Amino acid sequence: MQLLPSPLSLLLSHDEGVSHTERGWRSGALTRLARGVYVNTDGWRLLPPWEKQLVRVHAVLAVDPRRVICGESAAALLGVLVAHPSRPVHLLTETGASREYRGVRTHSSVDAREIIVVDGIRLTSPAATAVDIARSRPPAEGLAYADALMRADPTISRASLIALNDALASGRGRRQARWALERATGRPESILESASLAVIEWLGYEAPTVQQEFFFEGHVDRGDFYWEDVDVVGESDGDFKYLGDLGDPAQTIIDEKRRENRLRRNTAGLARWGWTELHEIEPLDAALRAAGLHPVRPRDTMRLTGFRPLGRD
């Protein structure tokens, strides 16, 4: 298992060869993230918020490498990056009360957590991290993290997550966590896909097959979601694939359009949505209906009303 490194180099005031960090901070050339830990301000400004969160975690570890990282901060190290611009770095402590101070939140618990050590960094295991997040965060976010952590550690099963949640002596958040853990499969390939599954269920639609393969016109294509009974494909697209992360963005757009056209020609309908449609809910519902889908049960109005966009603090 590998952990994500810091996207930016950290400058430590006590390191040999590093000088004038205080002067750089006062002039604005450096940004201070923790006591004695700085980064280049220009580079910091260019980072997306999910990478800034990862840098903050490494900055806290630079102050004291013996700390145990937990919650969303452990998930970030494990590769689950969600845009939390102001959420604190989470640490597990065996003594003292839970508290938050200067961007760090410590957590104490009556239950022991499984701790793993990777490259000298101590953090809660993927399974323990998934359960802790499902207990403390809204349902769609809990599901998204659980799916992503199951992808990070394929040995995790849904049954093991449910059992771990039930076995904790503390009942705080246990019932809340069950909704997400009972639906986690690890099959969705992105945070957006997992959150989409939650909202699709709350809108009253049948649960789709996830990552369905199709063999059309000499090509193998996969659809994010597929409703076999009505032959409808659903596609949830974030923006990152068009920003050059997966190669030439122009070619990516061309390939994606060709794939979409194949799916449209060979299925009864195709619905496409992104983060905006998901967060606003009604545009997602309209896209599903336009593709030929119809709800099979009443909306879960309470959960839809409580749905918070992922990445919002």
Give per-10-residue mean pLDDT for the chain (313 aa).
93 68 82 91 92 94 94 95 79 80 86 92 97 95 96 96 95 94 95 96 97 83 92 81 51 75 88 94 97 97 90 57
**Are residues 131 and 100 in contact, defined by beta-carbon separation less than 8 angstroms?**
no
pLDDT at position 241 = 47
pLDDT at position 262 = 87
Tokens of 103: 């961007």
Give the rounded distance of the alpha carbon of 42 from its chain centre: 26
Nearest CA-CA partner of 261 in 226, 296, 208, 221: 221
pLDDT at position 132 = 96
pLDDT at position 253 = 73
Q: Counting Cβ atoms within 10 Å, is residue 187 exposed (0-12), middle (13-18) or buried (19+)? A: middle
pLDDT at position 280 = 95
pTM for the predicted model, two decimal places: 0.89
pLDDT at position 96 = 66
Give dist(CA 294, CA 285) in Å, integer.
9
pLDDT at position 244 = 40
pLDDT at position 282 = 97
Nearest CA-CA partner of 60 in 83, 19, 93: 93
pLDDT at position 85 = 60
Tokens of 68: 């145990």
pLDDT at position 219 = 81
pLDDT at position 100 = 80
pLDDT at position 248 = 60
Give dist(CA 131, CA 160) in Å, integer.
10
CA torsion sign for 146, 148, 151, 152 is negative
What type of residue is 79?
G
